C-alpha cells in the first residue's frame, strides 16, 4: 500500500514556520521539473535545500576533532607515507603475528 510522504511527515510538517523568499526563475523551473520527475512537491525540494544550507552553516559546540596527536609538525612526503604503509603491512603479514 502506498503511503503519501506528507502523511509520514505530518507531525514534522506541522511544526514548520512559513517564510517567503525570492528565487531565480530558472532555479524554480529546475525545481519544478525535479519535483515532477521525483513525484514530490516543489516545496519539499525547497525544504531539503534549506536544510542543507542550514547544516552547511551550522556552528557546532564541539570541534570535529577533539583530540590532538603528536606529529612531526610537517606534512609527510609521498615516499615517507608509502614506506610507513609498507612497514605496517609487512608487520601484519609476518608469520607468527595475529591477523
pTM for the full predicted model: 0.50
* Cβ neighbours for 13, distance < 8 A, ≥ 6 positions apart: 6
Query: Could you read off the pLDDT of 48-71 as tens digits, one per residue?
Result: 999 999 989 988 887 776 667 677
At 1, is the pLDDT very low, low, confident or very high (cuts 50, 70, 90)?
Answer: very low
H or E element in which residue 50 lies: helix 42-56
Mean pLDDT (whole number) for 9-33: 84
Mean pLDDT (whole number) for 26-40: 97
Grid cell listed for 70: 603528536
Amino acid at each position: 500500500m502506498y503511503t503519501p510522504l506528507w502523511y509520514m511527515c505530518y507531525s514534522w510538517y506541522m511544526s514548520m514556520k512559513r517564510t517567503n523568499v525570492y528565487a531565480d526563475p530558472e532555479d524554480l523551473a529546475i525545481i519544478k521539473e525535479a519535483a515532477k520527475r521525483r513525484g514530490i512537491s516543489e516545496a519539499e525540494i525547497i525544504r531539503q535545500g534549506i536544510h542543507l544550507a542550514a547544516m552547511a552553516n551550522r556552528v557546532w559546540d564541539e570541534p570535529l576533532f577533539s583530540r590532538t596527536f603528536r606529529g612531526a609538525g610537517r606534512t609527510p612526503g609521498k615516499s615517507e607515507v608509502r614506506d610507513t604503509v609498507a612497514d605496517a603491512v609487512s608487520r601484519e603479514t609476518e608469520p607468527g603475528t595475529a591477523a
